[in-house]
Amino acid sequence: VHEAAAPVDLTSLKRIKRELVAPPFVHEHEQIAPGGPRIVEFEMKIIEKEIEVDRGAYLQGMTFDGSIPGPMMVVHEGDYVELTLINPPENMLQHNIDFHAATGALGGGALTLVNPGEKTVLRFKATRPGTFVYHCAPGGPMIPWHVASGMAGTIMVLPREGLSDHNGDPVKYDRVYYIGENEFYIPKDENGDYIRYEDVGESYPDTLEVMNGLIPSHVVFNGKVGALTGENAMKAKQGEKVLFVHSQANRDTRPHLIGGHGDLVWEAGKFNNVPDRDLETWFIRGGSAGAALYEFLQPGVYAYVNHNLIEAVNLGATAHVVVEGEWNNDLMEQVVAPTEYSGA
């Protein structure tokens, strides 16, 4: 239907190829754009695979580039994103990609439907600064199923001059972490044990029934319980400003850093808006990505949670941040350690 579209000549633009890395890490990038708009090239391979999301709980997962969430991309406002999307022959299903950052054609979904053994290349212009979800959306009931199986990630479109605070003054981050939250709907048998399926197709009918009840069996960060705790905890140093990008492609969530705050929070993730300050908890609308900047002021192990504490602790949505530094007694002091109390 679009064959008469006017051609566009981008041959004068510089190209740069970015190697994607698995979350919570983010590929190398400049916060302030080093020059004019570029075409930024990415490549992602879709991988269907079984994943043990909690002990004894197996998901027939679907992934962008092997990770849940898919890798985070970073470009600047005015850049062009050029993605090569590969559906290898060993997969069973058709997939595509819908970028919330893009304009038209179902976010690119209508132009990127690839069968197993196919690849395609999509280019779009990143016209709006912010953090935006991308996800698979191959049509009909495949859409929620593929998303609930793990096919979602985030692109961050930075303002060319970098981020700015509530006064419009520039602000830089020392580190950035990408937390992708997913909820899974893993069916149980009549004994209450999770069912393990032979393949993704076999898992569909039961999974659909659980999904339609809207109550997940698991709510996790980065694909499985414990993906960001213990040895996998995020790290920071006192005095560093850390940008936490948080996405949830399907269901609302409310990130909270226990013992910390959001100094500057773009709750809806869009950098043309004035960030909120001092937040205890921020809200990610299902189908969006938001960003929170925090300067760590105390050392210690912080828990970063979805502050529905049932979802955080019992269903899995907990990460850790290990922060080095020196304790500041002015901010907090244990004046009297727990000691005997013998009645009023």
CA atoms within 13 A on the CB side of 95: 33
Displacement of CA 31 from its chain's centroid (Å): 19
Judged by CB, which is closer to Mg ion: 20, or 220?
20
Q: Which two tokens stand for residue 234?
A: 């995020």
Judged by CB, which is closer to its own copies: 198, or 336?
336
User: Do residues 122 and 97 touch, judged by C-beta distance below 8 A?
Assistant: yes
Structural element, H or E, at residue 63: strand 57-64
Please, what is the minimum distance in Å from the beta carbon of residue 256 to Cu ion? 6
Q: Which of 74, 97, 101, 151 binds Cu ion (CB under 5 A)?
A: 151
Laid out side by side, the sheet with 241-248 consists of 218-221, 175-184, 241-248, 288-295, 262-266, 276-279
Please, what is the minimum distance in Å from the beta carbon of residue 318 to its own copies? 10
The answer to the question of residue 120 lying near Mg ion (CB under 5 A) is: no
Please, what is the minimum distance in Å from the beta carbon of residue 66 to Mg ion? 9
136: annotated active-site residue: yes
User: Do residues 185 and 203 touch, judged by C-beta distance below 8 A?
Assistant: no
Of 136, 156, 211, 234, which residue is the catalytic one? 136
Judged by CB, which is closer to Mg ion: 112, or 248?
112
User: Identity (one letter) of the amino acid at 19?
Assistant: E
Of 30, 280, 324, 332, which residue is the catalytic one? 280
Q: Which two tokens stand for residue 76?
A: 């600047």
- Judged by CB under 5 A, the chain residues 28 through 47 that form the site for Mg ion are 43
The answer to the question of residue 284 lying near Cu ion (CB under 5 A) is: no
- Judged by CB under 5 A, the chain residues 131 through 150 that form the site for Cu ion are 136, 146
CA–CA gap between residue 101 and residue 110 (Å, rounded):
15
Strands 218-221 and 262-266 turn out to be unpaired
**Binding map of Cu ion across residues 84-123, x = CB under 5 A, - = no contact:** -----------x----------------------------
Query: What are the residues binding Cu ion (CB under 5 A)?
Result: 95, 136, 146, 151
Contacts to Mg ion by CB under 5 A: 20, 43, 164, 263, 271, 295
